[in-house]
Amino acid sequence: MNYVIRLTTKGISSNFKTNILGQVTFEPILDQIKRKDYILVLNEIKDGLDTNYYAGVVTSQKLNSDLLSNLKLPVLHSVEHSDHFSVNDVLLLDTTGHIRTLYRPTSRFNTIFTTDRCNSYCLMCSQPPIKKDDSERIIEHLRLIDLIDPKTEQLGITGGEPTLLRDDLLKIIKKCKELLPNTRLHMLTNGKMFYYSSFTEKLAGVDHPNLTLGIPLYSDMPTEHDYVVQSKGAFEQTTIGYYNLARFNQKIEIRVVLHALTYKRLPQLAEYIYRNFPFVVHIALMGLEMMGFTRTNLTELWIDPKNYQDELEKAVFYLTNRGMNVSIYNHQLCVLKPSLWKWARQSISDYKNLYLDECNKCAIKDKCGGLFSSAEEVHSKYIKAFNCDPIGVQKIGV
């Protein structure tokens, strides 16, 4: 089994009362002015080490109280795992002793996780919302942007529902525009806030050069969409949101998660999208992630993806034939009809991406996006290795 990448660990925090962010360095930084951006990661803290001005120190070593009081800077010691850290990763040291990797320069799946709150309650939400005011995290989000490499090609903004941050969300996008002008931004949102022209106009006023809004639509029938997102009136708000965003020249991607409640009307939804929202830049047809509420509602949601291939094919062909830009996310090539392979994308974030033992025998493993790690137990029963490449498929796109 190929396991996912570790992003969290923990130890014992000392000498700090607010969370600390910094980039990983394993070597001392000579320029003391630059040290405030760095967290020094060491196996062992030797006597006489100059630790002045660093944002913090992380070590697997167990430190005694004398050493800790001498250090006089934020320290996280007795850390359980540190071999997943790389140079210039951005870490968040939590006052409770947790260390979260917020950014990895080597990954194309970096995301600013804005909030745990949401104003929907989707049946298949992979990150169930928490009703807690976490608005003070804006300080960390803005600090994170300071520490992200400006050469980063793309960055996600997600939640919860990022638009609940309102003006603070605009601050995040403005700061990205200022410090990361060449980085594509992709924000996942339910789009309901764009029902309000005033908010949409403010977002457009930021004038970010490369921002796309990924906004789900689950059915052409208002009642079905509202049921899936567990929010009455959501269909109306989201669809009016599409129009408001289009009026202000914002780039929109429509996302459709495929499951037992949505697959039957997928061809009708495709037609509805083409007739009503021909301005969207991309439509992503996505497989389920077995996380959060999906697990709770699995009996209602699960259908083997093999069993909706006809509907998926109809939708993809219908939209493509009308010049719309379509992709299939989160599907394995052995489950997809070969006629759909060219729309399949390597869409699963690297830290969640898994290949089963069966995949190790597969002739096209390097061309297949694999599975979510959460699908280890529940996945299509048609996952089956190819002993040769049946249609000479090119590596799938990203």
Q: Closer to ligand SF4 by CB, 3 or 26: give it.
A: 3
Q: Closer to ligand SF4 by CB, 68 or 385: give it.
A: 385
Give the nearest distance from C-beta 363 to ligand SF4 in angstroms: 8
328 touches ligand SF4 (CB under 6 A):
no
Please give the Cα distance from 38 to 56 (Å, whole number). 7
Q: Which of 124, 211, 234, 364 binds ligand SF4 (CB under 6 A)?
A: 364
Number of CB atoms found within 10 A of residue 382's CB: 14
Please give the Cα distance from 305 to 281 (Å, whole number). 25
Give the nearest distance from C-beta 304 to ligand SF4 in angstroms: 14
336 touches ligand SF4 (CB under 6 A):
no
- Examine residue 370 and say whether the peptide bond preceding it is cis (omega within 30 degrees of 0): no
Instruction: Calculate the alpha carbon distances from 328 to 127, 158, 287, 333 in Å.
Output: 21, 20, 8, 11
Q: Which stretch binds ligand SF4 (CB under 6 A): 174-182, 184-192, 344-352, 384-392?
A: 384-392
Instruction: Calculate the alpha carbon distances from 249 to 177, 246, 326, 363 in Å.
Output: 17, 5, 20, 44
Lookup: tokens for 324: 């719309």
Q: Which of 358, 389, 390, 398 binds ligand SF4 (CB under 6 A)?
A: 358
Q: Could you tell me which residues come within 8 angstroms of residue 347 by beta carbon, excluding any fewer than 6 positions away?
A: 284, 286, 327, 329, 330, 369, 398
362 touches ligand SF4 (CB under 6 A):
yes
Give the nearest distance from C-beta 335 to ligand SF4 in angstroms: 7
Give the nearest distance from C-beta 385 to ligand SF4 in angstroms: 4
Give the nearest distance from C-beta 390 to ligand SF4 in angstroms: 10
Q: Which of 58, 76, 283, 383 binds ligand SF4 (CB under 6 A)?
A: 383
Sign of CA dihedral 139, 215, 104, 356: positive
Q: Which of 332, 347, 353, 374 binds ligand SF4 (CB under 6 A)?
A: 332
Give the nearest distance from C-beta 380 to ligand SF4 in angstroms: 9
Judge contact between 348 and 369, C-beta under 8 A.
yes
Please give the Cα distance from 348 to 331 (Å, whole number). 9
Judge contact between 135 and 300, C-beta under 8 A.
no
Give the nearest distance from C-beta 346 to ligand SF4 in angstroms: 11
359 touches ligand SF4 (CB under 6 A):
yes
| Residues contributing to the site for ligand SF4 (CB under 6 A) | 332-334, 355, 358-359, 362, 364-365, 368, 370, 383-386
